[in-house]
Amino acid sequence: MKFIINSLQFSKQIQSISGVLTNNNTVPIINCFHFHLEEGELTIRATDLETTLVTKIAVETARMEGLQDVAVPSKLLLDIVKSMDDVPMTFSVDDDTFGINITSGEGKYRLAGKNPETFPNMPEARETKTIQMPCSALVNAIGKTSFAASTDEMRPQMGGIFCEINEENATFVATDAHKLVRYRRTDIHSEEPVSFILPRKPVTMLRNIMASIKEDLTVEVAYNTTNAFFTFNNFYIICRLVDGKYPNYDAAIPKENPNKLTIDRASFYNTLRRVGLFASKSANQVRLSIQERELVVSAEDLEFSNDANEKMPCQYEGEPMEIGFNAKFLTEMVQNIETEQILIEMSHPSRAGIIFPVKETEEESAEDILMLVMPVMLAN
């Protein structure tokens, strides 16, 4: 096997799929990229056994006799190409030893390739159902929900993003029982209602790859009872779905919230960042003291005798109240909203606050987002 490839494009492609590789796996062969050469196209595959990332690159083929497949040590290859200029690279693979010779400009490199026969096979897309959606919609859905997913390995269902698609819309949900995000799109539909849980790690990699593509493409999402298959541009991503049933998230969202606080998002975000520095490291609590036209954000750390408070103008409908929230959670949520103003609806200091973006116009939008954050008991 022998082929020539552009080093800049090659480096970009293998770095895109390298996020799935791990250093602590017990199967040596998956420390490699799997190369398959066929009809002027190189298919590169990487896997951690749960997730498989595949990309394809056009090559200038010099010889296709003999081997068409080889396993290439990933870390060494990545380190070589990262520092290369935009020059052609020639790969030549020995049919008997799997040794790989690379030449680029004045440089010559030899890698010990491996027999690809033991490289894991890709899961087959059997008995799948398929939907189409804009890449940008999926990028936003993942970006606005993944931060709220649980990191508790004892609750794997809550460590992923729950996807629920029907004739009317697609809903993406993530929660760790302290915070929850529900992101809904009315421009994505499925004739047959479906729901599944996507693991956070592979969908985060999926988002990063799609976000790096400048043009807005359509992604094809196929799924069955065990896997989801994403196809777009020259990438193909397979991830194993999370087993189990997702919690009834809708029951956790309070329906009656008479106290409504409207505030400038950027100012509130910056205030939370400053005041949050003074919160105790154990509770990480900020206090919101709300009146008709004034919000006071405060925090204190009694152990180190530190405290801070800032006053902000606001619009408020409801009874004056004080409520505490985790500063980190609240800051993350405000950061992931893009409108100039946000609306926080509350009912009682012991019940969750609901955060919405305030739309600037009354025009219909395909995007609908709701964020929930549980309160923290205020210290007297």
| Residue 9 to residue 291: CA distance in whole angstroms | 57
The residue out of 196, 222, 250 marking a domain boundary is: 250
CATH of residue 362: 3.10.150.10
Q: The whole model's pTM is what?
A: 0.91
| 232 and 272 both lie in a single domain | no
Please list the alpha-helical segments (H only) found in 316-369. 327-335
Sign of the dihedral defined by the CA atoms of residues 104, 108, 114, 117, in that order:
positive
* pLDDT > 90? residue 282: no
Please check whether residue 124 lies inside any domain of the structure. no
The residue out of 209, 230, 250 marking a domain boundary is: 250
The residue out of 250, 282, 305 marking a domain boundary is: 250
Q: Are strands 285-290 and 321-326 parallel, antiparallel or unpaired?
A: antiparallel
| 325 and 278 both lie in a single domain | yes
| 292 and 329 both lie in a single domain | yes
pLDDT digits (tens, 9 = 90+) for 79-100: 999 888 888 999 999 989 999 9
Lowest mean pLDDT across 123-132, 320-329, 348-357: 123-132
The residue range of the domain holding 190 is: 129-250
* pLDDT > 90? residue 183: yes
Q: What is the pLDDT of residue 364?
A: 59
Would you state the structure tokens that stand for residue 283, as one six-digit string? 């509770």
Would you state the structure tokens that stand for residue 313, as one six-digit string? 């103008």
pLDDT digits (tens, 9 = 90+) for 201-240: 999 999 999 998 877 789 999 999 999 999 999 999 999 9
Tokens 């996807």 belong to 163
Domain total of the chain: 3
Please check whether residue 346 lies inside any domain of the structure. yes
Give one word for 96, left, alpha or beta, with left for phi > 0 and alpha for psi -120 to 50.
alpha
